[in-house]
A and B are shown apart, each in its own frame.
Chain A
């Protein structure tokens, strides 16, 4: 029941948060925070009591019959990879909460409820070992996310939410078809009807259909990742989502795609994955370059960060389909590092938006003078995301490129040009927002003011008193810098990135056995000589 508890805790917390609004306006956020913390504590206690990184690969909850008719089980399990991602999920959940703390003022109960349910869904995705269960979590996490975007988002939120939902749902349906086809064919070949990952993984299916089934999975995952042709939901969703939702979306939700690739596509379809690898690597390359170029041409900060995500997640895709140990490690590392850096960037953008009510690069500038702490943080994360050595991102990208080079040098070369482009857009962002003249902040304010009226956002605080206060702030330039809470959160994330960059070993130790397992299933010709070698970094 340990792992079930992990899912159930935020689920119950969500209901409590919903209900508690009747008791007090602020009760939901405290409940959400406490709930997340408890879950986190529980996760760590599980980790401490069951030594995962040691030989034992899986920390398994015994499968419980769920739909015995089709031998579908409620089977949860955790290995190093899951643990790392769960840790990321819960930590980022806390970060999101901290950014939601003062930003969300309407329908708090429902907001925190949805927030926790999203987390529950994501936790479920990382734990589910039964394919159908996995699918259920996969879809279920979308619904509250949809609500988060559609209710608390920015001006164009409905469109964005719908687009997000449709894209992922379409991918999900393909995955459902693939799951069923996989099971059925597996049954035909082995006589065992099971949706269980650990059963299915033992005997990969031999069928003409395998390729297409594999493609179904892949599409579902790269929609979520997102890779090039399926990425269009991402900029909209990120831009329109409220900051906490953006953080969850960028930091965790995207990772479920990468996780799916690592966990399901590679081990279940070793041959088909090889078959699709060239295509996927091409897509990865295109994503990296395209994302970077698009990021460069954005003026909206959130959109910029969103496109940079496309670029960064391209590395994950590249890593996954390079079929070697370095690349896989890199992919995992990239997921973690990207989770931290991007969510931090989103949080910063959220803070800026909260203060200046604009995300437009052209209306910002010279923030360094007004908000030195915030700008410093911005600088740090901007640099981190462009892959400065010493941060987690650098290690990740390096490893991916290293692995990819072994497999397909051309893609590695193409992808590495993405790094250069990353430097270009990151620096542009930094330069345009934090440095330069403090250009007409005031006029931008009055502009913003009028446009705020016209494009009226229901959920913006538009009560007269607050508007007057805001105007007052603008006139006196009384814009506060980072509060202690925000500063602390960001500092911690800095710390995380730096630790990842300087001492990635603990993470590698955690995930190595899982990755080894995956690799051994692929039986790639490029076996790593010894896992100890890479760890020298």
Chain B
């Protein structure tokens, strides 16, 4: 047992206490505070880990889990996102859910725990367990709303999707297990490097796992229904789904890719390449046609993860022009955190707006709620990758990494996709600009204003002065 397990233990305790409290005495306030306490303690313990010890001492692994400075940072990011969403949750639930508000926190914590586990998993068993913990909690989160009829439909769709994904992943795991007789990542990494090029069966196993992960990341051939789920689910669930779940899944994808000799596996590489290109283009093209801001975000997230897939090509690629072997990792971390921070911001802004689903509901927002509109615009620009925002720095890192590793071919697609992306990001802004009628709007509370300013400042300041952030990431990775 080491200090590394503290966050997970904290979350576990919080979950049990919360469950008990809900059973004995239903109180929204109480549930809110217990969740907050759990998340904060987990986050602080994780941060103190980062602070206290030397970075290289963070590495620790046992049979099922392995911790590194990278995983610690990712966990902090994850917990940060959870905390940020949690902060907005109380108001939102008060406004939108008539009864049974408390279980939402429970599911949130469970999903968080699952994601946390995925980030540090080092064994197919632990990975699978955490994944399912997360996915099943998400089904609950998505189907949560009873007032909203579409929510159940979205829930069942997500359930089937995630079940299919897990089935495929499991099949892949089983095939690999059949081939190698081990479920440990470490074992795979060690034994695949020095054996002959992987066999047919092994490749099939990898492809099965990939398909499963692609479902989780909703990348292109597996992207159906994603937008439906985004639209039907309650907003905080959508926010969690698109941040927490994707973060964890991508980390696993990266981890798997990092191990073994996938890089030499031409079939897998081709597959990923095709998926990356298709995701970039199709994600953004489909987003063009959407009329709901949530669907736009859903499809744009497809293409963002398409961009991220490019980075997978850089690992183990020898032609590094910058003599900096960890740079792709830095870029990955930077892009991932930039995107997730921005997206969390976007969702929390949407959570503050009453009519959030359709694009028309945002008409004239600039004049009725200037701060909301301004922050939403900045977030959109960040997603589009306009300079001085966090999103741009992410994209800059990504492009730099891929150019320095001479992986040029995806870049034209990236440019095309980005330009297509501009269309709909700007469309959101334009809708907010149109109609000068000043609608009556309820005054914002101080907390709301504060969090909006926080989003603006975070996105802008990290985008304008990324030095500190970049150095942190470098020290973590290097």
Interface residues of A (CB under 8 A from B): 65-70, 106-107, 110, 132, 135-136, 139-140, 142-143, 146-147, 150-151, 158, 161-162, 165-166, 169-170, 173-174, 176-177, 180-181, 184-185, 187-188, 193, 458-459
What residue of chain B has the Cβ atom nearest to residue A459's Cβ?
A: B436
A162-B399 contact given A174-B415, A184-B322, CB 8 Å threshold: no
Binary flags per residue of B422-438, CB closer than 8 Å to A gives 1, else 0: 11001001100111100
- Bound CA span A459–B434, Å: 10
Distance to closest chain B CB from A272 (angstroms): 17
- Bound CA span A106–B366, Å: 13
Q: Pull 5 A–B residue pairs with CB atoms less than 8 Å apart, ordered by A.
A: A69-B474, A143-B386, A150-B429, A169-B419, A170-B419
B430 A458 Cβ-Cβ under 8 A: no
Q: Which residues of B contact A184 (CB under 8 A)?
A: 321-322, 400, 403-404
A166-B430 contact given A139-B387, A177-B403, CB 8 Å threshold: no
Q: Which residues of A contact B436 (CB under 8 A)?
A: 106-107, 458-459
B433 A150 Cβ-Cβ under 8 A: yes
B415 A458 Cβ-Cβ under 8 A: no
Question: Which one of B201-209, B442-450, B465-473 contacts A?
Answer: B465-473
Q: Which residues of A contact B400 (CB under 8 A)?
A: 70, 180, 184
A140 B321 Cβ-Cβ under 8 A: no
Q: Which residues of A contact B458 (CB under 8 A)?
A: none
A177 B399 Cβ-Cβ under 8 A: yes
A158 B403 Cβ-Cβ under 8 A: no
A143 B381 Cβ-Cβ under 8 A: yes
A162 B430 Cβ-Cβ under 8 A: yes
Partner of A180, one of B392, B399, B415, B466: B399
- Bound CA span A185–B436, Å: 50
By size class, the interface of chain B is 20 to 34
Partner of A162, one of B386, B426, B467: B426
B321 A188 Cβ-Cβ under 8 A: yes
Interface status of B257 (Cβ within 8 A of chain A): no
Interface status of B388 (Cβ within 8 A of chain A): yes
Partner of B411, one of A135, A151, A161, A177: A177
Distance to closest chain B CB from A511 (angstroms): 28
Interface status of B367 (Cβ within 8 A of chain A): yes
Interface status of B453 (Cβ within 8 A of chain A): no
B388 A136 Cβ-Cβ under 8 A: yes
Q: Which of B353-392 contact A (CB under 8 A)?
A: 366-367, 381, 386-388, 392
Q: Which residues of A contact B145 (CB under 8 A)?
A: none
A176 B322 Cβ-Cβ under 8 A: no
Q: Which residues of B contact A139 (CB under 8 A)?
A: 386-387, 392
Top 7 nearest A-B pairs (CB, nearest first) are: A69-B470, A136-B387, A139-B387, A170-B419, A173-B415, A188-B321, A184-B404
A173-B418 contact given A69-B474, A140-B387, CB 8 Å threshold: yes
Q: Which residues of B contact A174 (CB under 8 A)?
A: 415
Q: Which of B292-326 contact A (CB under 8 A)?
A: 321-322
Interface status of B84 (Cβ within 8 A of chain A): no
Partner of A165, one of B367, B387, B422, B466: B422
Q: Which residues of B contact A107 (CB under 8 A)?
A: 367, 436
A166-B422 contact given A184-B404, A459-B436, CB 8 Å threshold: yes
Interface status of B396 (Cβ within 8 A of chain A): yes
Distance to closest chain B CB from A16 (angstroms): 16
What residue of chain A has the Cβ atom nearest to residue B400's Cβ?
A: A180
- Bound CA span A113–B396, Å: 28
Q: Which residues of B contact A151 (CB under 8 A)?
A: 433
- Bound CA span A158–B429, Å: 11
Partner of B415, one of A106, A142, A165, A170: A170
B404 A177 Cβ-Cβ under 8 A: no
Distance to closest chain B CB from A368 (angstroms): 37
- Bound CA span A176–B419, Å: 13
- Bound CA span A69–B333, Å: 14
Q: Which residues of B contact A458 (CB under 8 A)?
A: 434-436
Distance to closest chain B CB from A133 (angstroms): 10
A158 B321 Cβ-Cβ under 8 A: no
A69 B433 Cβ-Cβ under 8 A: no
A66-B430 contact given A180-B403, A185-B321, CB 8 Å threshold: no
Q: Which residues of A contact B426 (CB under 8 A)?
A: 146, 162, 165
Q: Which residues of B contact A106 (CB under 8 A)?
A: 436
- Bound CA span A185–B322, Å: 9
- Bound CA span A150–B434, Å: 9
- Bound CA span A193–B327, Å: 14
- Bound CA span A66–B322, Å: 19
What residue of chain B has the Cβ atom nearest to residue A66's Cβ?
A: B467
- Bound CA span A458–B392, Å: 33
What residue of chain A has the Cβ atom nearest to residue B418's Cβ?
A: A173
- Bound CA span A184–B321, Å: 7
B471 A69 Cβ-Cβ under 8 A: yes
Partner of A173, one of B321, B388, B419, B434: B419
A187 B322 Cβ-Cβ under 8 A: yes
What residue of chain B has the Cβ atom nearest to residue A182's Cβ?
A: B403
- Bound CA span A147–B429, Å: 9
Distance to closest chain B CB from A200 (angstroms): 15
What residue of chain A has the Cβ atom nearest to residue B415's Cβ?
A: A173
- Bound CA span A89–B466, Å: 29
Binary flags per residue of B197-230, CB closer than 8 Å to A gives 1, else 0: 0000000000000000000000000000000000
A150 B403 Cβ-Cβ under 8 A: no
Q: Which residues of A contact B433 (CB under 8 A)?
A: 147, 150-151
A67 B399 Cβ-Cβ under 8 A: no
A187 B321 Cβ-Cβ under 8 A: yes
- Bound CA span A247–B67, Å: 58
Binary flags per residue of B63-103, CB closer than 8 Å to A gives 1, else 0: 00000000000000000000000000000000000000000
